[in-house]
Amino acid sequence: MHDLTLILMSKLNYWIYILLMMIGLYAMIVKNNLVKKIIGMNILQTAVILFFISIGAKNKATIPIIEHAHGPGNHAVSAAHYINPLPHVLMLTAIVVAVATLGVALALIIKLHQQYRTLEEDEILAQLKNE
């Protein structure tokens, strides 16, 4: 029983991220509406970002801003006291790129709506077949 709790404590987070990622993937595959597909894409992106952030987490560590940086004397900086900053850097740029892709995707949607007057995938496909 104790082992099971330990496994749950250490792995439950990852399982929830996978659940989130699968929600996003499911929306991208199954949903018929294009805006819903984009929301699914964003959910998938944030789930991946969440996963990256969580592999940088450390127990008993503080945020990656060095303490007493301007105090008198030099304090020794130990790597175990600070959370791993590298995933934060990579994901910070990923979030901003995510909003850039979102902008382009929404521009494509507006263009499609001007052309076909609908956002449903099957209606667009039916119009394409009739042409």
Partner 1 sequence: MKVLGAIIVLLFGSLLIYCTLDFPSWGDPASPASTHVSPYYIENTLEDTAVPNIVTAVLADYRGYDTMFETVVIFSAGIACFFLLRSFKRIEPDTRLYRHVPTGITFRIEKGGRYPRESVDFERIDLQWVPHDLIIKTTCRMIIPFIQIFALYVIAHGHHSPGGGFQGGVILGASVIIFAVSHNLRSSTNRISEKNVVLLSTTGVLLYAATGGLCLLLGSNFLDYSALSQIFGVDSVTARSFGILLVEIGVGMAVMAVMISLYYNLASAGKQDEGL
Partner 2 sequence: MMWLIQLIILIIVVVTALAAITVKDLLGAAILFGAYSFMMCLLWAIMGAVDVAFTEASVGAGISTVLFVAAVFRTSRRTKD
Residues at the interface with partner 1 (CB under 8 A): 6, 9-11, 13-15, 18-19, 21-22, 25-26, 29-30, 54-61, 64-66, 69-70, 77-80, 82, 84-89, 92-93, 96-97, 99-101, 103-104, 106-108, 110-111, 114
Least Cα distance to 48 among 71, 72, 22 occurs for: 22
- Residue closer to partner 2 by CB (options 9, 74) is 9
* 50 in Cβ contact with 34 (< 8 Å): no
Q: What, of partner 1, partner 2, none, does residue 4 touch, CB below 5 to 8 Å by kind?
A: none
CB 75 within 8 A of CB 67: yes
Please tell me whether residue 103 binds partner 2 under the rule CB under 8 A. Answer: yes
Separation of alpha carbons 42 and 57, rounded Å: 23
Residue 124 touching partner 2 (CB under 8 A)? no
65, 69, 79, 128: which one binds partner 2 (CB under 8 A): 65
Please state whether 73 falls in left (phi above 0), alpha (psi between -120 and 50) or beta: left
